[in-house]
Structure 1
């Protein structure tokens, strides 16, 4: 049994999600202590419980200690069973992070699956729906599986209530190389508001336009959602290249001015645009597991995040697959499966 200190590396929920996915893929049981020990509020939160419950459901796994607030647990995997599943976080916890836990095991299953996941679709510290739809899943489809995702309802913090539907048609993973992103095609910035003053969207777009000054005015647009979807606000930035579309985001929070939120998100996008990398800061760690399961592959990315280093360490411990990271001549970072 593999023993994991949940306070090491990234020190948050990613350690749980990656460990559960890897356990289902390799058949290796694990125990984790000091869960989320690197966070201000350690222990399991509702969204982490749901993610592990999802792993148990699709993988016939047994998990002892799976309660909100728990600091340690033991996970014993079974065999992955494709099918139709419904998971509800019950809070604004991320639907995307629940999906992250079960996606690769179901991509390698022996029959299609359909997932309905309810919770947050646009919330801090998690990939928004558009990142899954436009950034991550198109890359994974190049590896063989076919995956469609639909947003049926937005879910913002703190209310939640969002709903996504995911259809997965599995296939063996073929190695791919994502070294160049190609030519820039188009940029787009949308400010989503629901149940809050509309001028917040205008202020965000004005601030973002100052940073992304080379993008045309028509690339910036407010989006008014039904009030019952809110209260909530998300700023979504999309850069489309020949071979990848990168999505950056920012989410409204009480006490944070709209201008500051937009400026921070736009600077992240500007940093990515200035690089020559294929993967941005949030795509890089999401590619490690499918690339490792394919056995070979490589991609370029921006500066390596702690999430990525933690994921690479967990993959090596569970599967024996290692990654080699090096810097390219143009300043990007190359990740290769060893």
Structure 2
């Protein structure tokens, strides 16, 4: 088996998850040294270990070094198997990051799959379930990939307890896609999601979005999680253009006002709206892998993030593609994948 030697020091969990996905899809094994070496707590944390074990189960892999705190890992992929799976982070670790790790393998399986995931569904520094459903899954459909998501119960940090269900259909050869023009703005709406907290917090967040973007009453939504599994708050702003919709998310935290949470979301959305980009910065990171598996494609984005740059370098180690980016103007970059 072909094996790659990878250095995990420059990156975090994203480098590990991308390596697992690419290994399953290509049949190329890898060893990863110095995992998360520059983080305050180096090595594999619980959600990273869940992703490793999930990838191993889906891909019939042999794994060495998979334990909490490990800074070295060897992963030897086997045959991908569709079917029914269940994974739990055992904490508020992100369900969505675990799901994104195994999705590329499952859409290449020879049978449909159903996946049940437990943990955090709305986490800082991870795509929320709403983001996946609103932004990521529709673009996967353009590649010819069918994924269904159903949120049974939300889970916030630190309590967790969320449950997410996913269905994945086998996909044939992926279609090449170009996401370069988003079209006319059609609608914006905001949702404040609360668990074990006063509704006043959500109303204040939505008032900021109303003031910034003129959201009407029918575009402002307040949702309370019942029963509550612990305190939590997520604010989502959905921006829908004719050719693409994206969701911007902010999270409440102790000592941070509702107005500050909403202002952060509004500022991020405003940067996107002021640009000529079709794809926002975070979604660009996530579309790079299916685009590379398709062999070619392109998209415009607000900026090539550090995650995108490190992901591109890793993808080029596993796949015979070249990934480049060119600045189109002050607010827009074009990312190109070609064989």
TM-score bracket, shorter-length normalisation:
over 0.9
Distance 2:229 2:184 in 1: 36
Separation in 2, partners of 1:250, 1:265: 6
Which residues of 2 match residues 44-63 of structure 1 at below 5 A?
44-63=44-63
Distance (Å, rounded) in 2 between the aligned partners of 1:170 and 1:329: 39
Indicate yes or no: 2:202 matched with 1:207: no
Name the counterpart of 2:4. Answer: 2
Unpaired runs of at least 5, structure 2: none
State the partner residue of 1:27: 27
Secondary structure at 2:238's aligned position in 1?
A: strand
Are 2:92 and 1:79 equivalent residues in the alignment? no
Is contact 1:191–1:221 with CA below 8 Å preserved after alignment? yes
Question: What is the rounded CA distance, in whole Å, between the counterparts of 2:161 and 2:214 in structure 1?
Answer: 37
Report the number of matched residues: 335
Deviations 1:124-175 (A, max 9, x none): 1100001111100110011112111100111111111111111111212111
User: Which residue number in structure 1 is paired with residue 287 of structure 2?
Assistant: 287
Provide the secondary structure at the position in 2 that maps to 1:117. strand
1:206 Cα offset (Å): 2.3
Equivalent in the alignment of 1:174: 175
Residues 117, 163 of structure 1: 8 Å contact kept: yes
- Once the two structures are superposed, the pairs formed by residues 109-120 of structure 1 within 5 Å of their partners are 109-120=109-120
1:278 and 2:288 equivalent?
A: no
Structure-to-structure mapping, 1:1-338, within 5 angstroms: 1-8=3-10, 11-172=11-172, 173-210=174-211, 212-329=212-329, 331-338=331-338
CA separation of 1:316 and 1:257: change in aligned 2, threshold 3 A: same
Moved more, 323-332 or 282-291: 323-332
Distance 2:152 2:21 in 1: 26
Find the residue that maps to 1:114 and give its secondary structure: strand
Q: SS at the partner of 1:228?
A: coil
Secondary structure of the residue that 1:97 maps to in structure 2? Answer: helix
Q: CA deviation at 1:227?
A: 4.1
Which segment drifts farther, 167-176 or 224-233? 224-233
Partner Cα distance (1:237, 1:186) in 2:
11
Instruction: Supply the distance in 1 between the matched residues of 2:170 and 2:298 (Cα, whole angstroms).
Output: 21
Question: Distance in 2 between the 1:51 and 1:222 partners?
Answer: 32
- Secondary structure of the structure 2 residue equivalent to 1:247: strand
Q: State the alpha-carbon separation in 2 of the partners of residues 128 and 24 from structure 1.
A: 24
The DSSP-based 3-state class of the residue aligned with 1:31 is: strand
Contact 2:274/2:331 (CA < 8 Å) preserved in 1? no
Q: Which runs of 5+ in 1 are unaligned?
A: none
Distance 2:330 2:257 in 1: 35
Superposed CA RMSD in Å reads: 1.4
Query: Contact 1:60 / 1:81 at 8 angstroms: preserved in 2?
Result: yes
- Give 1:217 shift: 4.5
